[in-house]
Structure 1
């Protein structure tokens, strides 16, 4: 941003070197324009410095948020199981812990139909092998 100050100083020097008098109408206009350019340079330098400070602050917040997310999600050991709704065919991800909850029906968010009733001991898996999540085979 230093180059802006240098350019405005160069322009001021040109005006003085040309002998432009601020007594004339044209000289007054050119003088005011140079002053305005100087003010713009000050404002831009100030904005640039503030933007750099904000950028550093946002980076700091982003790092802190990443640490918080790692701590928060690190404790979350839940696994999700993909089920297919027998009514509408929608693929639904279900928290593994809900599969063992005898008090909660698992409902399809797409059609609202119950996929697994709370009292059901079995459910239909897409996988032919034994699942780690439920220990059951495809039925």
Structure 2
């Protein structure tokens, strides 16, 4: 039974009571009966709209499921078609990786370009050829490994005067005397001031 049918049944019961509508109580009961009927009609209309909306949602859900099934089926077919191409690309990438590994295994040397000053990476083939080309300015310049003998700096001679360790025979104190002091005259002990009668040993 719909809400408006229930409201109509209730209104019939109220009318059957024979309530005097001229009184305050009668007016209130009549107004409530009419309002109840209007609310019942509104609720029935809303219920009908909701039912219709549910039906449309169910139809859309079924159509969406069919669309997803068709879409996934097309994707699976495309993946099967693209697998051979991907295998070929993987093979090419593997070959490139092998070439890069060979290049990475070769020794390279950093050299400053004499023309532009940028760093140039020189391989052993360039060293064997004796020439390299700067990729920045395209200028060719000579390259060669430096000899190890050239890298070793020559030892500088010790130009300082010879020094001697002297032990004083009087007090036993030890002092260091330059060769120039020995040549200038008889040295004295800095501890006791007596002349040094000594034996010298070069440090």
1:20 correspondence with 2:19? yes
TM-score (norm 2): 0.38
User: Structure 1 residues 120 and 29 mapped into 2: Cα distance closer, same or farther (>3 Å)?
Assistant: farther
Matches within 5 A, 1:1-139: 1-2=1-2, 4-77=3-76, 78=79, 100=87, 102=90
Higher percent of residues as helix: 2
**TM-score by structure 1 length?**
0.53
Any gaps of 5 or more consecutive residues in structure 2? 99-203
Structure 1 residue runs of 4 or more that deviate by more than 6 Å after TM superposition? none
Q: Could you tell me how far 1:17 is from its partner in structure 2?
A: 1.5
Q: Which of structures 1 and 2 has the larger relative contact order (alpha carbons within 8 angstroms, sep 6+)?
A: 1
Asked if structure 1 preserves the Cα contact closer than 8 Å seen for 2:4 and 2:44, the reply is no
* Unpaired runs of at least 5, structure 1: 80-95, 103-116, 122-139
**Does the Cα contact within 8 Å between 2:20 and 2:26 map onto a contact in 1?**
yes
The question of whether the paired residues in 1 share the 8 Å contact of 2:4 and 2:40 is answered with yes
Residues in 2 aligned to 1:43 and 1:120: alpha-carbon distance in whole angstroms: 75
CA RMSD of aligned residues (A): 3.0
Name the count of aligned residue pairs: 90
* Segment drifting more, 25-34 vs 10-19: 10-19
Q: SS at 1:26's partner residue? A: helix
Conserved 8 A contact 2:21-2:27: yes
